């Protein structure tokens, strides 16, 4: 599995930025994608989900904004 370029965390929520190379019209370009998740622990150990409770939403907004800031700053630097 590909490793994220950057991960932002707030409590149990995280946003990971992945760099994906795609070929479009014969040109290879890099596209960034963001994956968000929440970690939790049950009797079997640590797991991840993409389901969020009401108290997770502010944390999700924080990590999403951090990922957005990272990507737009990176885009401006290129």
Q: What is the DSSP string of 25-60?
A: TTEEEEEEEEEEEEEEEETTEEEEES---GGGHHHH
Please check whether residue 1 lies inside any domain of the structure: no
Q: Residue 11 has what DSSP assignment?
A: T
CB 5 within 8 A of CB 32: yes
Between 78 and 58, the higher pLDDT residue: 58
Please check whether residue 15 lies inside any domain of the structure: yes
pTM, entire model: 0.84
Please check whether residue 54 lies inside any domain of the structure: yes
Name the residue among 28, 52, 26 with its Cα closest to residue 39.
52
Structurally, how many domains does the chain consist of?
A: 1
Please check whether residue 43 lies inside any domain of the structure: yes
Cα of 46 vs its chain's centroid, Å: 18
Please check whether residue 25 lies inside any domain of the structure: yes
Q: What is the pLDDT of residue 18?
A: 96
pLDDT digits (tens, 9 = 90+) for 19-75: 988 898 889 988 899 999 999 999 999 999 999 999 999 999 999 999 999 999 977
Please check whether residue 20 lies inside any domain of the structure: yes
């Amino acid at each position: 599995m590909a490793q994220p370029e950057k991960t932002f965390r707030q409590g149990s929520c995280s946003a990971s930025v992945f760099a994906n190379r795609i070929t479009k019209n014969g040109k290879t370009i890099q596209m960034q994608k963001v994956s968000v998740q929440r970690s939790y622990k049950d009797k079997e150990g640590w797991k991840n989900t993409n389901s969020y409770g009401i108290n997770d939403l502010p944390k999700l907004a924080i990590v999403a904004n951090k990922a957005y800031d990272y990507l737009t700053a990176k885009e401006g630097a290129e």
